[in-house]
Amino acid sequence: MKARYQNRIELLQGTLDLLILQTLQWGAHHGYGIAQAIRAGSGEVLRVDAGSLYPALHRLERKKWIKSEWTVSDKNQKVKAYSLTAAGKKQLVEERSNWERLSAAMAGILHPSEKESEA
């Protein structure tokens, strides 16, 4: 069991929301699809377990950033598909810029020399 977690990175508080919003940017997805997309997109590094995914989805839905709809999947199954709302799109832009500032700041602290050379 333990080995499974070794290659994974714990998601920072709030980053899951960003990942979900980002994933939904290109169209509606159901829960499993979102989890798989994040996993594949991160090269198997980020794994979202169901215990985080569903609370996050329901929380985002309550904040009206995403909406859900029951549709029929390509595998001909009835699934609950989530998609971005207008407010969600705005939120995505904002969170993305937040994240970029954060990662730039982190990078500046972790690699001071690079920063100096840039300057």
Partner 1 sequence: MKLFHWRRRKEEELDAEIQNYLDEAIRDRMERGEPAEQARANALIEFGNVGLVKEVTREMWGWALLERLGQDLRFGLRMLWKDKGFTAIALLSLALGIGANTAIFSLVDAALLKTLPVKNPERLVSLERGDVPPGKSRDGFSHAFFEKARMQQELLDGVCAFWGNPRVNVAMDGQAEVASAQRVTGGFFAVLGVNALLGRTITEEDDKVPGAHPVVVISHQYWRRRFASDPAVVGKSILLNGHAFTIIGVTPPEFFGAIVGEAPDFWAPMMMTEQLSPGTSVKGYYRMGFAPMLARLKPEVSEQQASALLTELLRQTDLDEVGIEIELWSPERRQALRQQNIALIPASRGYAAFGFPTVRTRFSEALRILMAVVGLILLIACANIANLSLARSTARQKEIAVRLALGASRFRLIRQLLTESLLLAASGGALGLALAWWGIRFLLALMASGRTPVYLNVTLDARALMFTAAASVLACILFGLAPAWRATDVGLTPALKDNSRSAEGVARLGLGKSLVVMQVALSLSLLITAGLFTRSLGKLYMLDAGFKKENVLQVSTDPRMIGYQGKQVVALYQRLLERFKTIPGVRSASLGGVGLLGGSGGGKLIIVPHAQGRPAPPGEQRPPIGTVTPEYFETVGMTILRGRGFTARDFDRGSGQKAVVVNEAFARHYFGEEDPIGQRFGYNEAGDGQEIVGVVKDARQSSLRETAEPIWYGAGFGQEATTFQLRTTADPTYIITAVRQAAREIDANLPLYDIKTLAANVDGSLAQERLISALSGFFGLLSLSLAGIGLYGILAYSVSRRTREIGIRISLGAQPGAVLRMVLRQGLILTLLGVGIGLAASLGATRLLESQLFGVTPTDPVTFVGAPILLLTVALLAGLVPARRATNVDPLIAIRQE
Q: Give the residues lining the site for partner 1 (CB under 8 A).
A: 30-33, 35-36, 49-51, 54-55, 58-59, 62, 75, 77-80
For residue 104, the tally of other CB atoms under 10 A from its CB is 11
In the complex, what is the shortest distance from the CB of residue 55 to partner 1, in angstroms, rounded to a whole number? 5
55 vs 108 by CB, closer to partner 1: 55
How far is residue 74's CA from residue 39's CA, in Å, rounded to a whole number?
Answer: 20
Least CB distance to partner 1 at residue 105 (A): 30
In the complex, the smallest distance separating the C-beta of residue 10 from partner 1, rounded to whole angstroms, is 16
Q: Residue 81 CB: number of other CB atoms within 10 A? A: 19
What one-character DSSP code corresponds to residue 66? Answer: E
